[in-house]
């Protein structure tokens, strides 16, 4: 069963990829707001959550994060990472850059060992202010699930007709390696149509783009939670490890979650 995050600050949770993670949700707490509509999204389809499209207020984010970090530090359990995630795409927030500044200041003051991560679908990285904000955090984690526009449209359902893999790759290259690339591998069917980004054609083309982008790290993973499309299949870890080995052969570290 898919579900939303009903709080601005949520967790902490034990993340497969990041450790003890305290979540920051900039998106509406009672609806989903995203520039993708991924067939595997744990928050469900965009259309299932048509409620108020109000971003969370910058001052509320700072106040609640301050309170939560102070409580966690006092308990002796500071987070390993503060992660921007939640009910959609965090970089859509009109005050995203300013909020990043607020969070970094709170982190430095209260738990300086914690990392700040942003999970992003990379649809806004063509905007200079978004790119500059992402470059300030420890872990800008940017999504690229396929090298082919047609596959991205099946898996990620970008809400903009202008989305293209090539434009996304060119924007990623502007990070000059100071980013983490994240890819979800899956297969199965959705609405009766086959979907599979694990074929040799898919993986080989994706690897060429990885080599072009040259991120500092790649994260590959497969399904772990409920999805809005119930006919998707999890890719076995052994298969993900083989893909990771091909990434590492390019001289780029790759983790499997």
| Full domain range(s) for residue 119 | 9-256
In this prediction, residue 53 has a pLDDT band, given cuts at 50, 70 and 90, of: low
State residue 137's pLDDT score.
98
Number of domains observed in the structure of the chain: 1
pLDDT score, position 55: 92
Half-sphere exposure of 139 (CA within 13 A, CB side): 23
Return the percentage of the chain with pLDDT > 70, whole number. Answer: 96
**C-alpha–C-alpha distance, residues 78 and 82, integer Å:** 10
Q: Write down the residue that tokens 């499997």 correspond to.
A: 256
From the CB of residue 52, how many other CB atoms can be counted at a distance below 10 Å? Answer: 9
Nearest-10 crossing angle of helices 200-213, 165-173: 30
Instruction: Give the mean model confidence (pLDDT) for residues 161-171.
Output: 97
Q: In the predicted model, is pLDDT for residue 130 greater than 90?
A: yes
pLDDT band at 212 (very low <50, low <70, confident <90, very high): very high
d(CA 67, CA 208): 45
- Please report whether residue 2 resides in a domain: no
* pLDDT tens digits, 69-79: 999 999 999 99
- 219: β partners: 182, 255
Q: Percent of the chain having pLDDT more than 90?
A: 88
50 has pLDDT over 70: no
Segment 187-202 mean pLDDT:
97
Tens-place pLDDT, residues 3-26? 788 899 999 988 766 789 999 999
Q: What is the DSSP letter of 205?
A: H
Q: What CATH code is carried by the domain that includes residue 137?
A: 3.20.20.70
Question: What band does 1 get if pLDDT is binned at 50, 70 and 90?
Answer: low
Least confident of 25-39, 107-121, 128-142, 189-203: 25-39
As given in the structure block, the two tokens for residue 224 are: 């772990």
Q: Please report whether residue 205 resides in a domain.
A: yes
- pLDDT per residue over 236-248, tens digit each? 999 999 999 999 9
Indicate whether 50 belongs to any domain: yes
- The mean predicted confidence, pLDDT, of the chain is 95
Instruction: Report whether pLDDT(128) > 90.
Output: yes
Query: What's the confidence (pLDDT) of residue 28?
Result: 87
Alpha helices, DSSP H, located in the chain: 58-74, 96-110, 128-134, 149-155, 165-173, 200-213, 237-248
Does position 63 have pLDDT exceeding 70, yes or no?
yes
């Amino acid at each position: 069963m898919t579900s939303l995050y009903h709080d601005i600050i949520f967790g902490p949770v034990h993340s497969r990829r990041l450790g003890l993670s305290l979540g920051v949700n900039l998106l509406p707490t009672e609806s989903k707001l995203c520039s993708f509509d991924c067939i595997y999204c744990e928050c469900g389809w965009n259309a299932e959550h048509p409620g108020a499209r109000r971003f969370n207020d910058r001052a509320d984010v700072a106040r609640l994060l301050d309170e939560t970090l102070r409580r966690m530090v006092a308990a002796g359990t500071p987070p390993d990472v503060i992660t921007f995630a939640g009910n959609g795409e965090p970089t859509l927030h009109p005050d995203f850059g300013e909020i990043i500044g607020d969070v970094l200041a709170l982190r430095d003051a209260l738990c300086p060992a914690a990392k700040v991560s942003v999970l992003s679908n990379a649809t806004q990285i063509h905007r200079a202010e978004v790119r500059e904000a992402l470059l300030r955090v420890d872990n800008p984690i940017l999504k690229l699930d396929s090298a082919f526009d047609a596959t991205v449209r099946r898996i990620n359902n970008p809400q903009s007709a202008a989305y293209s893999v090539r434009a996304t790759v060119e924007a990623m290259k502007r990070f000059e390696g100071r980013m983490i690339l994240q890819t979800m591998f899956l297969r199965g069917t959705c609405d009766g149509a086959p979907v599979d980004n694990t074929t040799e054609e898919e993986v080989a083309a994706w690897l060429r783009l990885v080599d072009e982008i040259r991120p500092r790290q790649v994260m590959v993973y497969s399904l772990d939670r409920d999805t809005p499309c119930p006919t998707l299949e999890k890719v076995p870890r052994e298969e993900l490890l083989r893909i990771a080995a091909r990434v590492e052969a390019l001289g780029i570290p790759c983790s499997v979650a």
